[in-house]
């Protein structure tokens, strides 16, 4: 029994629970299963031995490794399971078996993919994440959600197709399906798979599916979506491309550019989606420095893993708090919100904890992870990259740390007379807030940041890092407090750009407006001018055919007279000369 | 039929201003009971000015502490006194000022893409049948 317990990928348990949940109409039983499965999954994971193929299988003659735990995927899998548990609690007020099932199945695919030990198994679960998660967008039951869901599916499937291309290339050239680092982009299939992972990680210019789909998902769906796909992509980057130089600059760009969009955005779930993008940038940058042959590289990978773990929790917390506001007021628009601390004080309090964590305020989980990243980049990366990340830290503070809680909870009262969030939502937020505080406490051993660091891929190096040195704490506090001062002064003098309703254009404009309008224009042209164009094309074709036939057919001009005979003789002579030349040259 | 618009009078029969609950005062009927305990200080009229003064004072104290607790620094120039405070302050100014032209350039009407129905079907109005 014990062997069976440790030989089953916990993700499979979640997948099974998701399938059963989708069919089970009895709400208490279904929701009980939804809470129990992740708890059981966490127990199974903690019992699993490391660095062994715990479950294998065969398909189409290929050896598949379905369950393998190591120090890297353990932390991601654990965070996914904790997130699945929190999301199940957060959804308790809602009686929607399809939604419950899809959310748990999606979590199951992410957990299963984390523990996959070969490229084909990973691909299967990679694709299933797309299929399962789209239901969380579609269940919002709006036309906007339907359209966004379809775009989301296209992008995700494109990532899957590229991944499959890469796997085929790897297998053809090497005969191996091992899930191991490529070493360089010149390795077979490395570029295809990097592009596939780049889409899922929402690299710059490939990012907009996050801001398009997440804010249009259901209240609970937005929370669930924020946890899994992008972090799974970070795990795959850490697994397949550790130490790839270009990731450093991609990560910095990714951390910086969303700040400018987030400050303009009116929809707070879109602001959080941009914040998520920026945070993934920090992780990608750290992975880019994660050369496993060096101590600093190992520390960089530690930092990426730590940040992914804490981000899964505090990002969920932020989406939960704005989700609760959306649930009660029916809007997540900053221009329509304000003053909710009077009606939803606990939601506001938990939202503030999430904001403090994402902004890396000392004593919160984001700080102990982000300080590791900036410290490693300072030691091993270019100075400009470090400066970019410091700039991004302050930027995250302004949009996710200050703008989101201020506009939702403390800005001008917009007259929403609503009740506090349902108890289950508060409970989920409370647990997430507790983790976000406890994992950041300055306790080096036992619970506190020491607990988090002990779970990292290279715990010995992590234990040597001291995030709470006086210099580091003062530096971070300066950044944050001076940032608040700037924010308050700008607001006081009316220089801060106010919350205005509107659509902020991003790269999705290319396919949602430009390409769409071009297609509409082409259709209109073909409708109006189609018959005339076809007639003109037919006339030109007929005339060309007549001319060609008149020249080249057996009855044509070129078949008659001495010119044809002369041409044939000259062609034969030139061919003979070429053959002679080739013969002489070769010999 | 009751007369809802009848003017209010006090015990002496004098007209008085009708009572309207102030939404800005924590503790009134539409306010959560815990709001006063947790965030009661927020609605005090002097809070914004005091908060701004406290934040500026704290920034100055932290800059002074920077001089006292001189760490080794991470990249060299970050050992300059008040470097991080300057970066934090300047970044937020830069982002806010950049937002004005960017907003003029990139912001369109809310229904630019026709996405006007963005309220999902699992809000309280749908799940609980309204407040």
| Helix, strand, coil abundance in chain B, percent, nearest 5 | 50, 5, 50
pLDDT of residue B131: 44
Residue of B nearest to A332 (CA): B119
Give chain B positions within 8 Å (CB) of A492.
Answer: 48, 52
Cβ contacts below 8 Å, chain A against chain B, sum to 250
DSSP A345-397: HHHHHHHHHHHHHHTT-TTSHHHHHHHHHHHHHHHHS-HHHHHHHHHHHHHHI
> Which of B62, B100, B120 lies closest to A481 in CB terms?
B62
A80 in Cβ contact with A312 (< 8 Å): yes
Q: Chain B closest CA to A485's CA: distance in Å?
A: 6
Contact A263 B96 (CB under 8 A): yes
Interface check A493 vs B, CB under 8 A: no
- Report CB contact under 8 Å: A342, B31: yes
Question: B35-60: per-residue pLDDT in tens?
Answer: 989 998 888 889 999 999 999 999 99
Cα nearest neighbour of A488 on chain B:
B52
Q: Are strands B107-108 and A503-504 parallel, antiparallel or unpaired?
A: antiparallel
pLDDT at B6: 57
Contacts B66 to A, Cβ<8 Å: 474-475, 478
Cβ pair A395:B100 closer than 8 A: no
Which pLDDT score is estimated for A530?
Answer: 83
Q: For the segment B71-110, what is each residue's pLDDT rounded down to a tens digit?
A: 667 777 877 889 999 999 999 999 999 999 999 999 999 9
Q: How far is A466 from chain B (nearest CA, A)?
A: 13
Distances (CA, A) of A585 to A134, A545, A572, A576, A580: 65, 43, 20, 14, 9
Kindly report the number of other CB atoms within 10 A of residue A123's CB atom. Answer: 20
pLDDT at A331: 94
Instruction: Give, in degrees to the nearest 5, the angle at Cα B88 between A255 and A283.
Output: 25
Which residues of chain B have a CB within 8 Å of the CB of A142? 117-121
The domains of chain A are located at: 1-241, 242-501, 507-552, 555-587
Interchain pair A264, B74: CB under 8 A: no
Measured CA angle at A113 (ends A109, A115), to 5 deg: 125
Show the CA angle centred on residue A317, arms to residues A387 and B126, nearest 5°: 135
Paired tokens of B98: 């950049």
Listed by number, the residues of chain A in 518-577 with a beta carbon closer than 8 Å to a beta carbon of chain B are: none
pLDDT at position A412 is 87
Chain A, window 86-105: residues with a beta carbon less than 8 angstroms from a chain B beta carbon: 93-96, 99
Q: Which of A483, A498, A501 to mutate to test the interface with B (most CBs of B within 10 A)?
A: A483
pLDDT attached to residue A562: 61
Neighbours of A407 (CB within 10 A): 23
Low-confidence ranges of chain A (pLDDT < 50): none
> Strand, helix or coil at A255?
helix
Cβ separation of B115 and A484 shorter than 8 Å?
Answer: no
- pLDDT value for B73: 72
> What pLDDT sits at residue A445?
75
CB pair distance less than 8 Å for A264 and B103: yes
pLDDT of residue B26: 46
CA dist A142 and A147 (Å) reads: 9
Q: Which residues of A touch B104 (CB under 8 A)?
A: none
Q: Between chains, do B66 and A263 touch, taking CB under 8 Å as contact? A: no
Chosen from A345, A409, A490, A507 to mutate, greatest number of chain B CBs within 10 A: A345
User: What residues have CB less than 8 Å from B114, skipping those under 6 apart?
Assistant: A143, A144
Cα–Cα distance, A212 to A144 (Å, whole number): 10
pLDDT attached to residue B71: 66
User: A118 phi and psi, to 5 degrees?
Assistant: -145, 165
């Amino acid at each position: 029994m014990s062997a069976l317990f440790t030989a089953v990928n916990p993700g499979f348990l979640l997948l099974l629970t998701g399938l059963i949940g989708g069919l089970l109409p009895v709400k208490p039983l279904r929701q009980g299963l939804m809470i129990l499965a992740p708890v059981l999954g966490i127990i199974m994971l903690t019992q699993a031995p490391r660095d062994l193929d715990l479950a294998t299988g065969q398909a189409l003659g290929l050896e598949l490794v379905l369950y393998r735990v190591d120090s890297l995927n353990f932390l991601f899998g654990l965070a996914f399971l904790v997130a699945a548990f929190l999301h199940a609690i957060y959804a308790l007020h809602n009686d929607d078996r399809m939604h419950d099932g899809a959310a748990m199945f999606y979590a199951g695919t992410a957990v299963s993919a984390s523990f996959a030990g070969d490229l084909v198994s990973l691909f299967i679960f990679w694709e299933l994440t797309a299929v399962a998660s789209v239901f969380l967008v579609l269940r919002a039951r709006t036309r906007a959600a339907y359209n966004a869901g379809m775009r989301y599916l296209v992008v995700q499937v494109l990532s899957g197709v590229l991944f499959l291309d890469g796997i085929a290339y790897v297998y053809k050239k090497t005969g191996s399906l091992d899930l191991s680092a490529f070493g360089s982009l010149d390795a077979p299939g490395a570029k295809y798979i990097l592009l596939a992972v780049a889409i899922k990680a929402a690299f710059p210019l490939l990012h907009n599916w996050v801001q398009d789909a997440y804010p249009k998902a259901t209240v609970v769906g937005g929370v669930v979506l924020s946890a899994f796909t992008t972090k799974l992509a970070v795990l795959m980057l850490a697994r397949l491309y550790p130490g790839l130089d270009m990731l450093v600059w991609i990560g910095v760009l990714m951390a910086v550019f969303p700040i400018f969009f987030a400050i303009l955005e009116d929809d707070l779930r879109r602001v959080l989606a941009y914040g998520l993008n920026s945070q993934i940038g920090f992780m990608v940058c750290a992975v880019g420095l994660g050369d496993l042959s060096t101590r600093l590289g190992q520390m960089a990978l530690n930092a990426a893993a730590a940040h992914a773990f804490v981000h899964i929790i505090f990002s969920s917390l932020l989406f939960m708090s704005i989700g609760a506001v959306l649930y009660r007021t029916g809007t997540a628009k900053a221009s329509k919100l304000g003053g909710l601390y009077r009606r939803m004080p606990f939601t506001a309090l938990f939202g503030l904890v999430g904001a403090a964590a994402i902004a890396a305020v000392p004593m919160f989980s984001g700080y102990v992870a982000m300080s590791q990243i900036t410290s490693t980049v300072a030691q091993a990366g270019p100075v400009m990259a470090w400066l970019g990340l410091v700039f991004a830290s302050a930027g995250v503070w302004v949009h996710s740390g200050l703008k989101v809680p201020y506009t939702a909870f403390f800005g001008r009262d917009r007259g929403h007379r609503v009740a506090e969030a349902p108890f289950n939502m508060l409970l989920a937020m409370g647990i997430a807030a507790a983790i976000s505080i406890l994992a950041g406490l300055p306790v080096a051993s036992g619970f506190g940041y020491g607990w988090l660091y002990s779970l990292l891929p290279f715990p010995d190096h992590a234990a040597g890092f001291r995030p709470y040195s006086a210099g580091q704490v003062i530096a971070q506090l300066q950044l944050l407090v001076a940032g608040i001062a700037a924010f308050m002064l700008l607001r006081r003098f009316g220089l801060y750009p106010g919350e205005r309703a509107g659509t902020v254009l991003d790269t999705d404009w290319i396919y949602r407006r430009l390409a769409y309008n071009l297609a509409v224009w082409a259709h209109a042209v073909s409708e109006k001018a189609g018959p005339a164009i076809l007639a003109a094309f037919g006339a030109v074709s007929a005339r060309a055919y007549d001319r060609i036939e008149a020249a080249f057919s057996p009855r044509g001009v070129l078949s008659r007279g001495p010119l044809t005979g002369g041409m044939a003789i000259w062609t034969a002579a030139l061919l003979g000369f070429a053959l002679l030349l080739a013969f002489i040259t070769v010999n | 039929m009751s007369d809802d618009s009848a003017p209010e009078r006090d015990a002496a029969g004098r007209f008085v201003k009708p009572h309207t609950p102030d939404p800005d005062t924590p503790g009134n009927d539409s306010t959560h009971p815990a709001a006063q305990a947790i965030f009661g200080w927020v609605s005090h009229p002097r809070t914004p000015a005091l908060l701004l003064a406290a934040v500026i004072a704290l920034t100055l104290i932290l800059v002074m502490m920077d001089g006292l607790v001189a760490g080794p620094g991470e990249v060299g120039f970050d050992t300059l006194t008040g470097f991080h405070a300057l970066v934090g302050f300047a970044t937020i100014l830069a982002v806010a000022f950049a937002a004005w032209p960017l907003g003029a350039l990139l912001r369109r009407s809310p229904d630019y893409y026709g996405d006007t129905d963005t309220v999902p079907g699992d809000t309280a109005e749908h799940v609980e049948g309204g407040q």
